[in-house]
């Protein structure tokens, strides 16, 4: 078996587990793993991650959260509509940015979120 397939299986299992457990995975697991382990460009990693995380992937985790009473439908519907709109325009802007700049923006965003989680209230 090709080592890339094993790496992809590991990335997928980790992203799925972290996504189901913590509600994240694409940006935190898949994008950096594709870049650092498989040499993807920032654009390729983001595009591939978004393709993977379309509706079918999160459905089983979402069902578990729904069954446990942890889904606010009003908030979810508003976010679904606005995320669809925002992701369309965000992808248009991202595609126009140079890969190096996009990678820096991604890194700064992850760093700021990490700082807020570690030191925020």
pLDDT digit string, tens, across residues 24-81: 766 788 889 999 999 999 899 888 888 887 767 778 888 888 999 998 899 889 888 8
Centre a 10 Å sphere on the Cβ of residue 29 and count the other Cβ atoms it contains. Answer: 21
Q: For residue 34, give Cα distances in angstroms to 8, 70, 88.
A: 8, 31, 22
Mean pLDDT of all residues in 17-21: 73
Four-residue CA torsion sign, 65, 76, 58, 106 = negative
Residue 46's nearest CA partner among 4, 95, 3, 88 is 95
Is residue 8's pLDDT more than 70?
yes
Q: Percent of the chain at pLDDT above 90? A: 33
Of residues 107 and 50, the one with the higher pLDDT is: 107
Please report the pLDDT score of residue 18 as a whole number: 75
Backbone angles phi, psi at 114, to 5 degrees: -60, -45
Is residue 12's pLDDT more than 80?
yes
Give the pair of three-digit tokens for residue 113: 């979120």
Domain ranges of the chain: 3-119
Nearest-angstrom CA–CA distance, 63 and 54: 15
């Amino acid at each position: 078996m090709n080592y890339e397939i094993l790496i992809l299986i590991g990335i997928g299992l980790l992203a799925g587990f972290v996504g189901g457990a913590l509600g994240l995975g694409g940006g935190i697991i898949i994008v950096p793993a594709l870049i650092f382990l498989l040499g993807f460009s920032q654009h390729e990693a983001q595009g591939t991650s978004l393709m993977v995380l379309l509706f079918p992937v999160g459905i089983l985790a979402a069902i578990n959260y729904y069954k446990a009473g942890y889904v606010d439908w009003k908030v979810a519907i508003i976010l679904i509509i606005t995320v669809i709109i925002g992701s369309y325009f965000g992808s248009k802007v991202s595609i126009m940015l140079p890969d190096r700049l996009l990678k820096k923006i991604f890194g700064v965003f992850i760093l700021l979120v990490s700082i807020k989680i570690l030191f925020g209230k």
